[in-house]
Amino acid sequence: MIKQMRILNLAVLILLLYACQSCRSGTGNEEIDNKGHLNYDLIANKLIERAALKSNENVLLVGSPGRFDPLITLLVEAINKSGSKYLGTISVNDTFPESWQTSFTKDTSGKNKNELRILFEIVDIGIMLPGATPADLPYGVLQEQLERGKGRTIHFHWTGAYDLNGRLLDMNNEKDLFYQRALLETDYGALATHQREFEEAMRNKIVRVTTPAGTDISFSIGKRPVTRQDGDASAEQATQARNLIDREVELPAGAVRVAPVEQTVNGTVAFPDAMWAGRMVTGLIMTFHNGKVVEIEATSGKDAVKTELADAGEAGKSFREFALGMNPMLMIPDIGTRWLPYYGYGAGVVRLSLGNNLELGGEVGGDYVRWNFFVDATVTVGDQVWVKDGNLIR
């Protein structure tokens, strides 16, 4: 009997220890866990790991109050533990939790752009949390700092899911878990190596993109900077930055991005059916000459395309960017409804964009940017095929 009780007590102890460990490895908040099943501890650790904080670096968080609030508490603990200085968390909306406030953030209250520029001079790294966008004043000022070659940021979007026609989708539990897995399980070293090899391959060679629908466009990148979104947000990596985007490290990671030399962009792009100026357009094909749209054809909605491009000015008829997703953890799911994870950063997804490319080191100004996704493209660099029918093969 005594032996049986000892066995029972041991079993209870094991169960209690397992439950305690589960609480520590989970969110610690059942309500939040039910909403997204996110492990904020692991997410915070990964963000700090990719930031590679140094002792005495000044760290500023920018976000929107809501479901990611538990992440901020964990980030603050990790920042302080690293020996860096936590400056505070700035809210991008009218709600500003007292727990986010520090003497630094209180000084930012009510300040205009010029005043914030002065205050932000001490910021070494900013971590942009879900809800913060470049349209928000604090974020915009930090981007200006990046343009001046100072500091770095992590852009932790947690959005960017699209359908195959380029329509932005709402996040849900399925996408949350998908993004979390990509963030935590990406082989960042292998990703960086693969991206570096692709950049080297593009130098001094013609890049050609084709699709079954009729895309056949080619270009050269010359000496243009190639942004490798490999998830490295260290200060050492920032010293090699050549433009704003190099200093704004996105997590999850995955894309290689470049603004081709505008005068070398020639050929046709057959766009997926999508909304233009509020109308669905089908069978759209644009012809480019020296980086400019010179002809537009469409099965339906041609006038809508012309309206959108005319409203956009010179940027609307300018080729902006070539981007190739290279992260196998962000590939289009092959189960259920197909959708594009995280801005097309999955392996084999091509993005051909229109509009302003100054942040990438290009020459096109203006206020217009339009991304267009291609999931069945073939990408040839010189005589080497890197992507075949949407599959990254090299």
Q: What is the mean pLDDT of residues 220-240?
A: 97
Is 70 exceeded by the pLDDT of residue 4? no
How far is Cα 139 from Cα 153, in angstroms, rounded to an integer?
10
Place of tokens 């059916």: 273
Considering the chain, what is the average pLDDT of its residues? 91
Is 60 exceeded by the pLDDT of residue 63? yes
Q: What is the mean pLDDT of residues 240-246?
A: 94
As given in the structure block, the two tokens for residue 134 are 């470049």
Give residue 375's pLDDT. Answer: 96
Give residue 37's pLDDT. Answer: 79
User: Regarding predicted confidence, which is higher, 14 or 146?
Assistant: 146
Give residue 393's pLDDT. Answer: 94
Q: What is the mean pLDDT of residues 138-145?
A: 96
How far is Cα 351 from Cα 215, in angstroms, rounded to an integer?
12
CB 72, CB 32: distance < 8 Å? no
What is the helix (H) or strand (E) element at residue 206, kind and residue range?
Answer: none
Give residue 6's pLDDT. Answer: 40
How far is Cα 118 from Cα 136, in angstroms, rounded to an integer?
17
Nearest to 55 by CA among 82, 76, 81, 79: 82
Give residue 95's pLDDT. Answer: 86
Going from the C-alpha of 384 to that of each of 193, 226, 329, the distances in angstroms are: 18, 19, 24
Give residue 249's pLDDT. Answer: 97
| Bridge partner residues of 249 (DSSP) | 154
How far is Cα 261 from Cα 320, in angstroms, rounded to an integer?
10
Give residue 224's pLDDT. Answer: 97
| Bridge partner residues of 154 (DSSP) | 127, 249
How far is Cα 308 from Cα 318, in angstroms, rounded to an integer?
13
How far is Cα 320 from Cα 354, in angstroms, rounded to an integer?
5
Cα Rg, the chain, nearest whole Å: 23
Determine which of 63-67, 257-261, 310-314 has the lowest per-residue pLDDT on average.
63-67
Give residue 87's pLDDT. Answer: 97
Helix, strand, coil proportions of the chain in percent (round to 5)? 40, 25, 35
How far is Cα 97 from Cα 69, in angstroms, rounded to an integer?
10
Residue ranges per structural domain of the chain: 34-156, 190-392
CB 167, CB 275: distance < 8 Å? yes
Q: What is the mean pLDDT of residues 237-242?
A: 95
Is 90 exceeded by the pLDDT of residue 193? yes
Is 50 exceeded by the pLDDT of residue 392? yes
The b/e string for 157-169 (b: 16+ C-beta within 10 A; e otherwise) is: bbbbbbebebeee
Percentage of the chain with pLDDT > 90? 86
pLDDT tens for each residue of 333-362: 988 889 999 999 999 999 999 999 999 999
Provide the 10 A C-beta neighbour count for residue 391: 12
SS3 97: coil
Is 50 exceeded by the pLDDT of residue 260? yes
Beta strands 125-128; 152-155: pairing state: parallel
Give residue 336's pLDDT. Answer: 82
Amino acid in the structure at residue 386: W
How far is Cα 127 from Cα 339, in angstroms, rounded to an integer?
27
Range 34-156 classified under CATH 3.40.50.720: yes
| Bridge partner residues of 211 (DSSP) | none
pLDDT tens for each residue of 7-49: 334 333 333 333 333 333 333 333 334 445 799 999 999 999 9
